[in-house]
Structure 1
């Protein structure tokens, strides 16, 4: 009986914490989107070909990372499990964002590029594995109900 109450309290506490985190992420996405639209006017300054495009690209990819993380939290409320697929997507996008920024600024070194490539390979393998595990979990209950 005591374990049941502790488990219920734990689940409720996790729901409250994830709700607060989700609200902050949504708030961050909204602010970031507004700032993104405001920063588009900087592109009209014509400060060379690259201008503020690197900032625009970094901002767009940052918002995408926040969206992927929020999708992970929303999925938690639906299934009470964190889906690794969404987290891996956010990590992959964040890594690609960093590589693009470094390459665009001409600050990338070969050893960093190799490290980022290895990280992307591992994250891609994790993502593929999480998809395969998720598909397997979906088919197991269907086959056991026959």
Structure 2
């Protein structure tokens, strides 16, 4: 085995360990976040004026969804040793939508911000479509 292959094996092993640790932390965060979300709903039921507390629940749910998408990306890495861009872009899109919802709910959205977020969502959408097309092309090339 050459030195280059040994270094690559060490690198792959270190990356696997680091991604495993990150995945465990994300799984623990998802479990704790879900547990906390249930208590938030219970607190929401007990309150009389609930309008102001919905944004907290929406934010928590979308944050959990972002963590789930990132964990899916890491799980996909272990099977293919590639990070799938679609999962990462999905998490980014949900994050941007989460921020838009928070700003809109607090009535702090300015027209310029709306245009900026729209452009960002458009670019992320194009990246997502492109990543799907590239993934399908790669699968097609592997089958031939």
Scaled by the length of structure 1, the TM-score of the pair is 0.95
Aligned to 2:111: 110
Alpha-carbon RMSD = 0.7
Structure 2 residue runs of 5 or longer lacking an equivalent are: none
Answer yes or no: is the 8 Å Cα contact 1:42–1:52 preserved in 2.
Answer: no
Matching residue of 1:86: 87
Q: Distance in 1 between matches of 2:75 and 2:99?
A: 26
Does 1:67 find its partner at 2:68? Answer: yes
Q: Which runs of 4+ in 1 moved over 6 A?
A: none
**Cα separation, 2, equivalents of 1:51 and 1:88:** 30
Q: Which runs of 5+ in 1 are unaligned?
A: none
Check whether the contact 1:43–1:51 (CA below 8 A) recurs between aligned residues: no
Q: Secondary structure at the match of 1:7?
A: helix
Distance 2:137 2:69 in 1: 23
Residue number in structure 2 paired with 1:47? 49
- Cα drift, residue 51 of structure 1: 3.1
